[in-house]
Amino acid sequence: MTELTFPARFRWGTATAAYQIEGAADEDGRTPSIWDTFSRTPGKVRNGDTGDIAADHYHRMAEDVALMKDLGVTDYRFSVAWPRVQPTGRGPAVQKGLDFYRRLTDELLSADIRPVLTLYHWDLPQELEDAGGWPHRETAERFAEYAGLVADALGDRVPTWTTLNEPWCAAFLGYASGVHAPGRTDAAASLRAAHHLNLAHGRAVQVLRAALPASAEVSLTLNLHAVRPLSDSAGDRDAARRIDALGNRVFLDPVFHGRLPADLVEDTAALTDWSFVRDGDLEVTSAPVDSLGINYYSPTVVAAGTSETPSPWPGAERHVRFVPAPGPRTAMDWPVDPEGLYGLLTRLRDELPGTPLMVTENGAAYDDYADPSGEVHDPERVAYLDGHLAAVHRALADGVDVRGYFLWSLLDNFEWAYGYGKRFGIVHVDFASQRRTPKDSARWYADVIARGGLRG
Ligand code: PNW
């Protein structure tokens, strides 16, 4: 047996997001975000689930940090709830909201766990949505101001800052397919949203650089799509190019190269002339970052064809068909394929030389089962994680500068449109009693961290 050993300074983390775990939706001055509104609207989230209580992390934070200390993680990726800190999206910060994150980061630092803070994991203050949301340019400015409030409060204790989590989901699931909050189905608006998210990111980078110590690391997280054409035919390859533009380069190009993808502008010409991109915007969007976070779960296989509308792929519906990838599936019905992660990492090595990478999310939902003694067994999750970490190891061996891996997720939580029915945690949560039970995968991860690698 050969051990797959990771670099000594490799960062081993877990990840969560505020709305998915915190609960306490109406406490200490917090007001609704678009996800409160969306989840409280009948028919939007399975089973009518909301994040009102979630995993009650707001009240059980110390217990959850203790769980991580037991796992031995070096880092913890969490998000700040904008409506807790600046409820209307304007004006001064709410002290009690900031205090929660101050206590959380203090608790992490005393457990010797590095805080990795995400400013935006989809919980836009409802008032900003009412004023136009992400399709509206001013939202980017509001985000930069909010970034400054958080930086002033936590800049002395948080070494790593991430502006946005998965702007693709925020723009295209939120405004084009409408399966995420705010649930709009306006393809043209979703393209404006994507640009304003890029602009918000860039403006926040500028504000963070001014407010944070020089040692702070500033980053963003993208859910990049590992796109493969079904065949080598020209039509299938063109379908893959379109999805690469709408899924990847729509963010990578403005952020890392200060340009819009020319083919994207052409492909979407029937929807927009992109005149909302003003002079100077692409200099802002490309404010230098220190690293890139990538979230990966599953590959995307496409062919020439059509898909239904509304879809999260504005303008591609008459050209692209999504093909179920072969092989095993998770409880989300997402195909399992670590090769997709390896492919993305090596592509970024080549396209963004000098940019350190972090896998900021990877994990799987499965239907776990408890035995009579109360132990929760999840062998499929262990196999999924082992396979994907092996892919990261192979990427490292091939010269990819991957600095860390954040397992999604620490806890079972509110899985967006799927509610509590899909469990991604390595710690089981009984949502009636809020009892936490580490699963077999938690013990497996603790062992990986302790030995600094996989058993091979
Ligand atoms: C990510 N898609 O969401 C998020 O960052 C997490 O909050 C979430 O819990 C996790 O992945 C698992 O879903 C995604 O439809 C949601 O392509 C949907 C998609 C991608 C990512």
| Amino acid 434: pLDDT | 98
Segment 83-94, tens digit of pLDDT: 999 999 999 999
- Position 443 pLDDT exceeds 90: yes
Please give the single-letter amino acid code of residue 279. D
The CA distances from residue 243 to 240, 345, 352, in Å, are 5, 18, 19
- CA neighbor of 291 nearest in space, from 395, 205, 370, 199: 205
| Amino acid 1: pLDDT | 58
CA of 415 to the centre of ligand 1 (A): 8
Give the pair of three-digit tokens for residue 343: 């492919």
| Amino acid 183: pLDDT | 98
User: ipTM above 0.90?
Assistant: yes
CA of 10 to the centre of ligand 1 (A): 24
CA of 373 to the centre of ligand 1 (A): 32
The answer to whether the CB of 17 is under 6 A from ligand 1 is yes
**Spacing of C-alpha 301 from chain mean position:** 21
φ, ψ of residue 161 in degrees (nearest 5): -120, 130
Segment 4-60, tens digit of pLDDT: 999 999 999 999 999 999 999 999 999 999 999 999 999 999 999 999 999 999 999
CA of 414 to the centre of ligand 1 (A): 11
Looking at residue 367, what DSSP letter applies?
Answer: -
Residue found under tokens 């028919």: 43
pLDDT confidence bin for 368, thresholds 50/70/90: confident
Residue nearest to atom 8 of ligand 1 (CA): 415
**What positions carry a catalytic annotation?**
166, 361
Run of H or E residues at 264: helix 262-267
pTM of the model: 0.98
- Position 386 pLDDT exceeds 90: yes
Segment 219-232, tens digit of pLDDT: 999 999 999 999 99
Segment 210-220, tens digit of pLDDT: 999 999 999 99
The answer to whether the CB of 408 is under 6 A from ligand 1 is yes
Would you call 456 exposed, middle or buried from its count of C-beta atoms within 10 A (0-12, 13-18, 19+)? exposed
In this structure, is the dihedral angle defined by the CA atoms of residues 276, 162, 453 and 65, taken in order, positive or negative? Answer: negative
pLDDT confidence bin for 262, thresholds 50/70/90: very high
Q: Which of 123, 169, 362 is the pocket-test mutation for ligand 1 (most atoms within 8 Å of CB)?
A: 169
Three-class DSSP category at 272: coil
Query: How does the average pLDDT of the chain come out, rounded?
Result: 98
The answer to whether the CB of 413 is under 6 A from ligand 1 is no
Cα gap 243→267, rounded to integer Å: 11
Segment 160-205, tens digit of pLDDT: 999 999 999 999 999 999 999 999 999 999 999 999 999 999 999 9
* Cβ neighbour number for residue 328 with a 10 Å cutoff: 10
Please tell me which residue, 301 or 326, carries the higher pLDDT value.
Answer: 301
The CA distances from residue 238 to 229, 316, 321, 346, 351, in Å, are 8, 11, 11, 22, 20
Q: Which of 33, 223, 410 is the pocket-test mutation for ligand 1 (most atoms within 8 Å of CB)?
A: 223
User: SS3 for 33-83, per residue?
Assistant: EHHHHHHCCCCCCHHHCCCCCCCCHHHHHHHHHHHHHHHCCCEEEEECCHH
The answer to whether the CB of 129 is under 6 A from ligand 1 is no
Segment 233-261, tens digit of pLDDT: 999 999 999 999 999 999 999 999 999 99
- Exposure b/e, 48-66, CB count within 10 A at least 16 = b: ebbbebbbbbbebbeebbe
- Exposure b/e, 370-401, CB count within 10 A at least 16 = b: eeeeeebebebbbbbbbbbbbbbbbbbeeebb
13 near 407, Cβ under 8 Å?
A: yes
Cα gap 64→94, rounded to integer Å: 24
The answer to whether the CB of 163 is under 6 A from ligand 1 is no
